Amino acid sequence: MQKLILICALDRLSDPGSYGFSVEAGGHRVDGFVVLRDGECFAYRNSCPHTGSPLDWVDHQFLDIEGALIQCAVHDARFLIDTGECVSGPCPGESLESLQIRVEGGEIYLLGTA
Ligand code: FES
């Protein structure tokens, strides 16, 4: 059975913008982040495919300066916002692990299992 786990209010994010979170889902801690771009939300686990490190070095900051790509602060890998695919840096062709979310009533939820 699917369960909605609150991440944050949609208006917590600028567009483009990002927000890091850590929630309990089905007995596991999920560390992730959401990205809002052109009114659309995407979510990924906060683990770089290069070494497994968290991507952010400042809280909630996952985008490059232009807000065009997701950026790993450790070795500067860049990822497409909509697919999580690495397009430059040390892990080309690898991808961030996407997380299922739902936006409902102005809130962003992670879809977990009960
Ligand atoms: S840990 Fe992300 S680029 Fe190396």
How do residues 1-48 score in pLDDT, each as one tens digit?
789 999 999 999 999 999 999 999 888 999 999 999 999 999 999 999
Q: Which pTM does this prediction carry? A: 0.95
pLDDT beyond 70 at 114: no
- DSSP letters for 80-109: ETTT-BEEESSSTT-BPPB--EEEETTEEE
Residue-level pLDDT at 100: 96
Ligand 1 contacts CB of residue 89 (under 6 A): yes
| CB neighbours of residue 34 within 10 Å | 25
Counting atoms of ligand 1 from 1, which one is nearest the CA of 76?
A: 3
Ranges of each domain in the chain: 2-113
Atom of ligand 1 nearest to the CA of 75: 3
2-113: CATH topology is Rieske Iron-sulfur Protein (2.102.10)
Statement: residue 103 has pLDDT above 80: yes
Q: How far apart are CA 88 and CA 92, in angstroms?
A: 6
Pocket test for ligand 1, best of 44, 50, 56, 97 (most atoms within 8 A of CB): 50
Report pLDDT digits (tens) over 45-59: 999 999 999 999 999
69 lines ligand 1 (CB under 6 A): no
Question: Distance between CA 74 and CA 89 in Å, rounded?
Answer: 10
